[in-house]
Amino acid sequence: MATALQVNPSTISAQHQATIAASLARRLAVAKAAQNTQLLTLLEQEQQQLDRKSYPLNLAALVAQVKQVWHSWLNALDRHSQLSVKQVVGESGTTFWHAYDPKTGKSLYAESSSEVVKWIEDNGLGQ
């Protein structure tokens, strides 16, 4: 029989904050015992920052942000692998077309858009 694991984000957040607080307390005790005033100052600043955090760690929001970054990254990769066609104006004012397919590495410079369309169709690109 399978057992379902139920996780309560607020419980995890509370446990995480308790672990951080315990670790900080141990580091403070060690710094006091060693009479390391510079480290004590830094750890006390860390304690103040921890005390100022009145909001709990929101695991669901963190997961949503990670998903959003992941999807943005995947979309960027997808865009870079797509056939691109651009109209370019040269230094002399001449207009031409540049097509590039990153999947095959094929590239074309043409004088008209119809040449580009024919090249794409003849090479089976952009599919």
The more confident residue out of 22 and 12 is: 22
Question: Do 65 and 95 have their domain in common?
Answer: no
The total domain count for the chain is 2
Question: Do 15 and 62 have their domain in common?
Answer: yes
Say whether 97 sits in a helix, a strand or coil.
strand
Question: Do 39 and 73 have their domain in common?
Answer: yes
Quote the pTM value: 0.41
Question: Do 65 and 99 have their domain in common?
Answer: no
- Please say whether the beta carbons of 27 and 43 come within 8 A: yes
Taking only the tens place, the pLDDT of each residue in 38-96 is 988 988 888 888 776 645 556 777 888 889 989 888 888 777 778 889 999 988 889 99
Q: Hunting for tokens 């008209």 — which residue is that?
A: 112
Domain extent at residue 25: 9-78
Closest by CA position to 83, among listed 101, 108, 106, 104: 101
Question: Do 41 and 97 have their domain in common?
Answer: no
For residue 1, being part of any structural domain is answered with: no
